[in-house]
Amino acid sequence: MTPFVTVYTTVYLGLGSNQGDRSAHLRRAVRALGSRASVRSLRASAVYESEAHTIDPDDAPPDFLNAAVEVQTTDSPETLLRAAQDLEARAGRPPESDRRVWAPRPLDVDILVYGSATRSTPDLSIPHPRLGERRFVLEPLADLDPTLRIPAPFCTDVRSLLNECPDDGTLRRTSLSLTDA
């Protein structure tokens, strides 16, 4: 009899917060992700602070704290998406029907890369379609693995995307840690 083998996939998630206790929101999300039975390990990047992207240049929303986490998980992309949305809801983010692009939020959890998988559905796009346009996503990813190969449509590594990133917004590495108490 062949033993049952559990297959884990390496997944990279982007975390962001610009409402309330930003660092507490990020830490709670990391703890919740790490405590999932389907997660074998978790690593977190450094935490960065960035200006919020806005549609109207006269808007001045609070700055974001951003980070990336790497997890080894047995969750499907859809299960992980539901878990991410649950974390956002518990942090106070409005339901999907009330979300606005670039609106302030207590917690944002995005699936950036799910192994070598690609998806394009109304609910889920993997890899994240704007990954290459966001320095606040690429810098934390580079902390975890600058040679990480991003699947189609990117077909390149994090370091190359970062070198070509058009985002020239201010990004500051903080001294915060998401794995401390």
- Annotated active-site residue 28? The verdict is no
pLDDT(17) > 60: yes
pLDDT of residue 180: 66
Per the confidence metrics, is the pTM higher than 0.85? Answer: yes
Longest CA pairwise span in the chain (Å):
66
pLDDT tens, 55-99? 566 667 789 999 999 999 999 999 999 999 999 999 988 766 444
* Lowest mean pLDDT segment, chosen from 80-84, 96-100, 136-140, 157-161: 96-100
- Per-residue pLDDT, averaged over 90-119, amounts to 82
Name the catalytic one among 108, 134, 135, 145. 108
- Annotated active-site residue 86? The verdict is no
Name the catalytic one among 22, 27, 75, 93. 93
pLDDT of residue 94: 77
Measured between alpha carbons, how far is residue 178 from residues 3, 45, 55, 86, 138 in Å?
36, 8, 30, 19, 17
- Per-residue pLDDT, averaged over 44-63, amounts to 81
- Annotated active-site residue 56? The verdict is no
Name the catalytic one among 110, 135, 143, 145. 110
- Per-residue pLDDT, averaged over 44-48, amounts to 97
- Per-residue pLDDT, averaged over 171-181, amounts to 87
Q: Identify the CA nearest to 106 among candidates 19, 16, 26.
A: 19
Name the catalytic one among 22, 27, 75, 105. 105
Q: How far apart are the first and last CA of the chain?
A: 44
User: Could you write out the DSSP letters of every residue in 113-139?
Assistant: EETT--EE-SS-EES-TTGGG-HHHHH
The span from the CA of 174 to the CA of 171, in Å, is 10
Share the mean pLDDT of the chain: 90
The CATH class of 9-173 is: alpha beta
Domain ranges for the chain: 9-173
- Annotated active-site residue 143? The verdict is no
